[in-house]
């Protein structure tokens, strides 16, 4: 009797294990109708043949990341709209928002994940679909939050491949230079023209793709991650800011709140940056209108008199972004763009703006995807 019970139990366990293994490998297709509309919110200056900075604030949801084809369809629709408006040429520099590449962690997952009630449930579903990969990533994770690290680390290779395929492909298809927002990867580098993740800490990094679809320069790591991300995203150890040559001039990138530090503009001045791109991301539906929380992660720079709670988050971004404000920044122009949309129960916030000749041009009205253009 005991042998019979043992055999029955083992059979049940094997069947359950086989069923779970089969379930983890299934990726049934589902249908999704995406909103491809985009508004030209800001168009400053006139075309003088010197090129332009074109910021895109896409309106995205988890469903857009079901496949590369879907997210590419939406971004290509925005670029097609820009082309129809006469905003694309061989000197155009397109800027996408922070972490647009990090959401590729959800590409190609089960339909149940996209139907999750909240982000935590979606993350749990992600782990259930990749148990061995998650366990391996957790053992190699760095920082205080090993779980958050492992979520991104376990799909790092496919994320890096998809990131280059998607954004390098769009740059080549539309003949533009493209600042591909940012992506969280372990110790990313460019090898033989390909973005490759390493085995070190996670860095929030941005890659620029040229008109031929190939990466320009090296990945720009975020120098000072936000307080909320410091438990798993590490600051750049060399504190280096890169400037890349584009058909429109020399371009510098400040990821997110890196744009709040006067010393970073001085460094870009020394490197001869003529344009500055600021990919940004703010979580929270009404964060833009709420009181600014201050620097949090580091001491407030001595040049900054702004106090936490003194102004709204949005006003703080306008005041602290010093692009083209001589003598702090000698760059001619810049654009700050925010990711828009809702990711399960988490809604993003922020309204992008143009910086030129020490002035800020903003349009804080309307929801949905937006284009922000400034002619050089």
Task: Kindly state the helix (H) or strand (E) to which residue 13 belongs, with its residue range.
Answer: helix 2-25
Q: Which fold has domain 35-375?
A: Nitrilase/N-carbamoyl-D-aminoacid amidohydrolase (3.60.110)
Q: Phi and psi at residue 131, in whole multiples of 5°? A: -65, -45
Task: Report the alpha-carbon angle 240-243-248, nearest 5.
Answer: 165
Interatomic CA distance for residues 278 and 254, integer angstroms? 5
Q: How far apart are CA 129 and CA 151, in angstroms?
A: 12
For 137, how many CA atoms within 13 A lie in the half-sphere containing its CB? 26
- What is the distance between the alpha carbons of residues 347 and 343, in angstroms, rounded to a whole number? 6
pLDDT tens, residue order, the chain (376 aa): 445 444 443 443 333 343 444 444 444 455 555 788 999 999 999 999 999 999 999 999 999 999 999 999 999 999 999 999 999 999 999 999 999 999 999 999 989 999 999 999 999 999 999 999 999 989 998 878 899 999 999 999 999 999 999 999 999 999 999 999 999 999 999 999 999 999 999 999 999 999 999 999 999 999 998 888 888 899 988 889 999 999 999 999 999 999 999 999 999 999 999 999 999 999 988 899 999 998 876 778 888 889 999 999 999 999 999 898 888 899 999 999 999 999 999 999 999 999 998 888 888 777 899 999 999 9
What are the strands, taking DSSP E only, across 24-121?
39-44, 52-57, 59-60, 92-95
Closest by Cα among 107, 100, 112, 26 to 69: 107
Q: Is the peptide bond before 327 cis (omega within 30 degrees of 0)?
A: yes
Could you tell me how many residues make up the chain? 376
The torsion defined by the Cα of 172, 177, 183 and 187, in degrees rounded to 10, comes to 100
Write down the H helix ranges in 117-261: 119-129, 131-140, 146-153, 156-163, 169-174
Q: Which of 226, 267, 257 is nearest to 321 (CA)?
A: 257
Instruction: Quote the tokens at residue 63.
Output: 């469903």
What percent of the chain is helix, strand and coil (3-state, nearest 5)? 35, 25, 40
Query: What are the extents of the domains in the chain?
Result: 35-375
């Amino acid at each position: 009797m005991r042998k019979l019970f043992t055999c029955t139990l083992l059979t049940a366990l094997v069947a359950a294990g086989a069923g779970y293994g089969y379930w983890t490998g299934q990726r049934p297709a589902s249908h999704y109708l995406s909103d491809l509309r985009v508004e030209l919110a800001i168009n400053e200056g006139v075309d003088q043949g010197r090129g332009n900075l074109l910021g895109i604030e896409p309106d995205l949801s988890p469903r857009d990341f079901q496949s590369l084809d879907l997210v590419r369809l939406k971004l290509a629709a925005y670029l097609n709209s820009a082309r129809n408006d006469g905003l694309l040429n061989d000197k155009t520099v397109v800027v996408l928002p922070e972490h647009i590449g990090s959401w590729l962690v959800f590409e190609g997952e089960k339909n149940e994940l996209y139907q999750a009630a909240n982000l935590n449930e979606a993350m749990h579903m992600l782990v259930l679909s990749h148990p061995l990969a998650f366990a391996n990533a957790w053992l190699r994770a760095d920082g205080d939050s090993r779980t958050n690290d492992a979520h991104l680390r376990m799909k790092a290779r496919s994320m890096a491949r998809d990131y280059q395929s998607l954004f390098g492909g769009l740059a080549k298809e539309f003949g533009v230079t493209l600042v591909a927002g940012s992506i969280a990867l372990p110790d990313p580098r460019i090898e033989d023209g390909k973005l490759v993740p390493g085995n070190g800490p996670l860095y929030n990094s941005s890659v620029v793709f040229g008109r031929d679809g190939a990466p320009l320069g090296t990945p720009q790591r975020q120098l000072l991650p936000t307080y909320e991300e410091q438990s798993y995203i590490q600051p750049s150890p060399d504190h280096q800011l890169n400037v890349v040559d584009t058909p429109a001039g020399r371009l510098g990138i400040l990821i997110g709140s890196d744009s709040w530090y006067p010393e970073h503009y001085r460094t870009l001045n020394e490197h001869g940056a003529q344009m500055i791109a600021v990919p940004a991301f703010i979580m929270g539906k009404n964060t833009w209108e709420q009181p600014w929380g201050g620097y949090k992660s580091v001491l407030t720079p001595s040049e900054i008199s702004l106090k936490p709670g003194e102004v709204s988050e949005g006003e703080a971004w306008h005041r602290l972004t010093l692009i083209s404000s001589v003598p702090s920044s000698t760059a001619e122009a810049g654009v700050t763009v925010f990711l828009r949309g809702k990711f399960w129960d988490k809604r993003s916030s922020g309204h992008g703006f143009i910086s030129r000749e020490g002035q800020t041009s903003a349009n804080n009205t309307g929801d949905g995807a937006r284009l922000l253009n400034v002619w050089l």
